[in-house]
């Protein structure tokens, strides 16, 4: 990789109690690119994603070892403010999960907590910016006070993306963000992901090989807790080095 990576994982091990879920993961994630994490169910994709914003801290039996740096900051160091870290590393989940609040308040939620704006006008501007970036503004600008849960699934997912980017994170983690959506809503989100990478670094977990090929510049293949290989998406899909990758992308395992 030519540019310094924004995220560097070194020898990351993750355990749930006695059970090891990830084994010595070494991965570099470049800035302003989309990186796909692929691999069979249970291989540790979500576990790895959740290491990057320390969401695994919330799982009592989970232990993370090794080192993860974001822009040279060791995010597991004792002095790290986890709330601040999570504002730098946003997350979008598989199932759209807007708060039972208005569309406006869903987006304003993070900026309010982190005190990012100093006036009503500034907040309105930030909410509009986030909804425009998330490709939702035109559809909701006349109904910002309506509840977010009243939107369609695809709109809800874009609302969750707007909510994640409203605090201007550096990294956005997406765990199978389209798996609950129809093909049209999926296509809209995929286009959006490509647009978002101008401003953010995106890591997306997907079970769709087509999706990984369409949206990501880099791909990492996980298998049974190991990172088997990673590299440019094209290389992973056309000339993988490892037989396990080959088998997975051709549908022989998974
Ligand atoms: N909270 C937890 N407690 C105990 N074990 C867990 C927990 N979360 C995950 N695991 C285990 O860790 C391993 C990796 O799980 P993970 O959810 O990261 O897989 P995944 O690749 O995201 O799978 P999928 O594609 O099905 O979402 C699995 O064996 C799983 O059972
Ligand atoms: Mg998962």
**Residue 151, domain member (yes or no):** no
**Residue 103, domain member (yes or no):** no
Place 120 in a pLDDT band, splitting at 50, 70 and 90: very high
The whole-angstrom distance between residue 178's C-alpha and the CA centroid of its chain comes to: 12
**Residue 125, domain member (yes or no):** no
The residue range of the domain holding 51 is: 7-97+167-244
Give ion ligand 2 contacts, CB < 5 A. 46
Query: How long, in residues, is the chain?
Result: 254
DSSP state letter for 149: G
Nearest C-alpha to atom 3 of ligand 1 is from which residue?
Answer: 16
pLDDT digits (tens, 9 = 90+) for 36-49: 999 999 999 999 99
Q: Is 38 in the pocket of ligand 1 (CB under 6 A)?
A: no
**Residue 222, domain member (yes or no):** yes
Q: Which residues lie closer than 8 Å to 103 by C-beta, 6 or more apart?
A: 131, 140, 143, 144, 145, 146, 147, 148, 151, 159
Angstrom distance (rounded) from CA 203 to CA 182? 21
DSSP state letter for 175: E
Percent of the chain beyond pLDDT 90?
Answer: 94
CA–CA distances in Å: residue 70 to residues 120, 168, 210, 231: 32, 15, 29, 19
What global pTM score does this model have? 0.95
**Residue 211, domain member (yes or no):** yes
pLDDT digits (tens, 9 = 90+) for 8-40: 999 999 999 999 999 999 999 999 999 999 999
Say which ligand is closest to the CA of 38. Answer: 1
Cβ count within 10 A of residue 235:
14
* CATH code, domain with 239: 3.40.50.300
**Residue 250, domain member (yes or no):** no
Q: What is the pLDDT of residue 252?
A: 77
The total number of structural domains in the chain stands at 1
Q: What is the pLDDT of residue 189?
A: 93
């Amino acid at each position: 990789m030519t540019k310094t990576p924004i995220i560097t994982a070194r020898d990351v091990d993750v355990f749930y109690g006695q059970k090891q879920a990830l084994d010595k993961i070494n991965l570099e994630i470049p800035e302003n690119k989309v990186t796909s994490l692929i691999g069979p169910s249970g291989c540790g994709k979500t576990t790895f994603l959740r290491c990057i914003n320390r969401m695994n801290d919330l799982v009592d039996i989970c232990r993370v070892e090794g080192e993860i740096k974001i822009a040279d900051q060791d995010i597991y160091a004792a002095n790290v403010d986890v709330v601040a870290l999570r504002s730098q590393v946003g997350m979008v989940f598989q199932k759209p999960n807007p708060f039972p609040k208005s569309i406006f308040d869903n987006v304003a939620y993070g900026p309010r907590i982190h005190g990012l704006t100093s006036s009503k006008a500034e907040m309105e501007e930030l909410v509009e910016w986030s909804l425009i970036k998330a490709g939702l503004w035109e559809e909701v600008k006349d109904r910002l006070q309506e509840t977010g849960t009243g939107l369609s699934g695809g709109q809800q997912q874009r609302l969750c993306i707007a909510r994640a980017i409203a605090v201007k994170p550096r990294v956005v983690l997406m765990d199978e963000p389209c798996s609950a959506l129809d093909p049209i809503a999926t296509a809209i989100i995929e286009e959006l992901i490509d647009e978002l990478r101008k401003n953010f670094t995106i890591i997306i977990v997907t079970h769709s090989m087509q999706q990984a090929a369409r949206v990501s510049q880099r791909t990492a293949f996980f298998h049974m807790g190991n990172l088997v290989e990673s590299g440019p998406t094209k290389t992973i899909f056309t000339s993988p080095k490892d037989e396990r990758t080959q088998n997975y992308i051709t549908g022989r395992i998974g």
